[in-house]
Structure 1
Amino acid sequence: MKARVKMNGLVAGILERNGGTVRFQYDKAYLQLRQPALSLSLPLREQPYESKGLPAYFSGLVSEGWLKRVQATEQHIDPNDEFSLLVHNGNDLPGAVTIELLDLS
């Protein structure tokens, strides 16, 4: 599953999950424009970030409490599947970042 990450409307990079591995890579054009990093934990760089599970920055964007329960129930998503919850609800995040699902594979 892949998603496009935008910062202030500009494509900042691609977030994808393959099995238990999550990868985020900044978009080359975003790097060339010298836009701000998404967070201090994800400084600008050409190399992708890879982790087991959702990186802390993105995990912090996932809904909590009653909203998380409603999203999980209504969208038939396991409440422990933070990646799916994030990419399916990424157009309604607080702040300058939005996340758009690219495919369902």
Structure 2
Amino acid sequence: MKQAIVYWKSLKAGILTESDEGYSFAYDKDYLTMPEVQGISLTMPLREEPFQSNTLHPFFDGLIPEGWLLDIAQKNWKIDARDRMALLLACCRDCIGAVSIKPLNTTEDDE
């Protein structure tokens, strides 16, 4: 099982999990109670129930680089192109925009 912390700006928005059953994204309970926060995507509005999918949610898959940048990432980190969660964890720590993805076991000291 692989897990990632999903941040919106500097706030912990939720946890993304890959398991044998597929993928799940759940908003953090504290995040849901904060004023003026928003969903990480229009397709993933704020709610208490997790978003479930057999494949990586399109919003997260869209964060993964494409083309020559994907080729570099695959060769550099030796990641199979079909392992979308591994690519997301390796490539999306500092994305353009408000969302960033970090492995669950990463601490600020690791960066």
Identity level (%)? 39
Indicate the residue corresponding to 1:47 in structure 2: 49
Indicate the residue corresponding to 1:2 in structure 2: 3
Measured in 2, the distance between the counterparts of 1:94 and 1:19 equals: 30
RMSD over equivalenced CA pairs, Å: 1.1
Measured in 2, the distance between the counterparts of 1:21 and 1:38 equals: 20
**What is the deviation of 1:33?**
0.5
User: Structure 1 stretch 92-101 or stretch 6-15: which is displaced more?
Assistant: 92-101
Indicate the residue corresponding to 1:96 in structure 2: 98
TM-score normalized with structure 2 length: 0.88
Which aligned segments of 4 or more residues in structure 1 are displaced greater than 6 angstroms?
none
Higher relative contact order (CA 8 A, sep 6+): 1
Long gaps (5+) in structure 1? none
Long gaps (5+) in structure 2? 106-111
**What is the deviation of 1:19?**
2.0
Indicate the residue corresponding to 1:81 in structure 2: 83
| Distance verdict in 2 for CA 1:88–1:20, change over 3 Å | farther
| Cα displacement string for residues 40-80 of structure 1 (whole angstroms, at most 9, x for unaligned residues) | 11011001011011011111111100111111111111012
**What is the deviation of 1:36?**
0.5
- The one-letter code matched in structure 2 to 1:93 is C
